[in-house]
Structure 1
Amino acid sequence: MENDNRERLVKFLSSAGAASRRAAGELVKSGRVAVNGRTVLEPGARVAPGDQVTLNGTPVRPAEVRLYIMLHKPRGYVCTNHDPHAKQKAVDLIRTDPPVRLFSAGRLDKESEGLILFSNDGAYVEELTHPRHEILKQYLVRLTRPLSEAELERIRAGISDQGDLLRVRAIQPLGAARYRITLNEGKKREIRRITAAVGAPTVQLKRVRIGDLELGSLPPGEWRMLTPEEVTLSLKRG
């Protein structure tokens, strides 16, 4: 059938490393993407091999090499590519040759540390971050004090905060006000909001696992490429 080899414009943009798939849709709707010189406003539009795609007037070409990187984010760094006022950005700890535009698969807040994944493969980033894929993330958390059984049950039942229902997939006491917490969605500062709601604020938070991929012994501030097997582990669903 004619044009069977076309692909959706947002998939083309994400695969080329221009943006994650969700962000690519917003770029299209804002009128910043053109195909063969004509602005396209429909994210579901399709492009064929040989079509000329531009973003803000700059040609977008498929990524020749797709990179998958794990970083042990230290405390004090932010997970953003766009904040011009951020003095310490996690992505700046990664140096590739040649330089490649990378996107973080989810975020850790400035005060948190641990495993975060970067890639120029927008489809991979989208799969890691969208809640419907149910890829679990695991954290080691230290609080100001131990939680009572009633507080643990309240957390497991779900906590309403600022219009969000915050619910963990699992919380396991480790002793000395330390806990292992597993999340699916990971709303903004979710664990900190949950523990604050029960009166036991988070003192230390470290992400140690995504899917079946573990941070292991990688030191803070260091990064390394993932093997194909580790990419598969990171996408393991809960």
Structure 2
Amino acid sequence: MRGDGRRQPPVKKPQAVPGGKRVTLARALSKLGYCSRTQGEELVRAGRVTVGGRAIRDTESWVDLATAVIAVDGKRVVAEKPVYLMLNKPRGLVTTRHDPEGRATVFDCLQDVSHRHLSPVGRLDKASEGLLLFTNDTEFAQALLDPETHVSKTYHVQMDRLADDALLQAMMQGVTHDGEFLKATQATMLRAGERNSWVEIVLDEGKNRQIRRILEALGIECLRLLRVAIGNLALGDLEKGAVRPLTDAEVAGLRRQIAAAGTP
């Protein structure tokens, strides 16, 4: 309220400049590859982040990436060179940096790689295997995970029975599990034994434990689950537990698939 009895006009937060480099402080830390946006917000609230030497605690503060001098715990944050890695995740590892139960994690496979600011792109649960990406490029990671981009993920799944056309159709038509509708984009037979079979399943969304939940709803046990491709990026013959950098062409290929989602 103003002194003359009239209401003070609301204070408007500064707006990002379209096409410019003004972003919130937490977002700036993410864009610089220092941490995720959520982690950045925690750092800002804790008073550990300064801009031009002044501590900032407001997570909605805007900064200009082109000019701002940002530091965390007194050490200046500068943009890191983007890193893109592929891991053939072994079964039995959890997809997290630190596990409170002390279990082995996917970061145990990155011992020969500087991974301070690397994060996994999505998750594979403990029992799942195969292609897992790591990067410090948070925008790239978020775009790959965004359901709107529909970048496909391809899995080879061993189940405890022989798959037939009716079962494959049921997976593509979809099921409801715990109140959530789940379906496969594609499901095709790979090979069959006497009592079990391997099926290739393609998803274009990434709901939690999606394939295992589809199979569970259909009364099927999942014996093995391997992710073999993300978009056109294939796991190939990378050995179990091995890590390699993506080539420039592979990164560009994934970017093209992300960009294609926005093309009418």
Question: TM-score by structure 1 length?
Answer: 0.85
Partner residue, 1:231: 251
Partner residue, 1:206: 226
| CA RMSD, Structure 1 to Structure 2 (Å) | 2.6
Counterpart residue identity of residue 229, structure 2: R
Matches within 5 A, 1:112-131: 112-131=128-147
Contact kept, 8 Å, 2:87 with 2:242, in 1: the verdict is yes
Contact kept, 8 Å, 2:45 with 2:59, in 1: the verdict is yes
Q: What SS does structure 2 have at the residue aligned with 1:224?
A: strand
Deviation of 1:175 after TM superposition, in Å, equals 2.7
Partner residue, 1:41: 59
Partner residue, 2:45: 31
Contact kept, 8 Å, 2:232 with 2:253, in 1: the verdict is yes
Looking at structure 1, the residues matched to 101 and 76 of structure 2 have their Cα atoms a distance apart, in angstroms, of 27
Deviation of 1:204 after TM superposition, in Å, equals 0.5
Counterpart residue identity of residue 136, structure 1: S
TM-aligned CA distance change 1:99 to 1:106, over 3 Å: closer
Looking at structure 2, the residues matched to 58 and 209 of structure 1 have their Cα atoms a distance apart, in angstroms, of 41
Q: Which has the larger radius of gyration?
A: 2
Counterpart residue identity of residue 47, structure 1: D
Counterpart residue identity of residue 70, structure 2: V
TM-aligned CA distance change 1:98 to 1:214, over 3 Å: closer
Counterpart residue identity of residue 90, structure 1: V
Looking at structure 1, the residues matched to 144 and 34 of structure 2 have their Cα atoms a distance apart, in angstroms, of 17
Looking at structure 2, the residues matched to 186 and 6 of structure 1 have their Cα atoms a distance apart, in angstroms, of 30
Structure 1: gaps spanning 5 or more residues: none
Partner residue, 1:6: 21
How many residues align? The count is: 232
Structure 2: gaps spanning 5 or more residues: 1-16
Looking at structure 2, the residues matched to 141 and 186 of structure 1 have their Cα atoms a distance apart, in angstroms, of 16
Partner residue, 1:185: 205
TM-aligned CA distance change 1:79 to 1:97, over 3 Å: closer
Looking at structure 1, the residues matched to 99 and 74 of structure 2 have their Cα atoms a distance apart, in angstroms, of 21
Deviation of 1:59 after TM superposition, in Å, equals 4.4
Looking at structure 2, the residues matched to 167 and 32 of structure 1 have their Cα atoms a distance apart, in angstroms, of 42
Q: What SS does structure 2 have at the residue aligned with 1:132?
A: coil
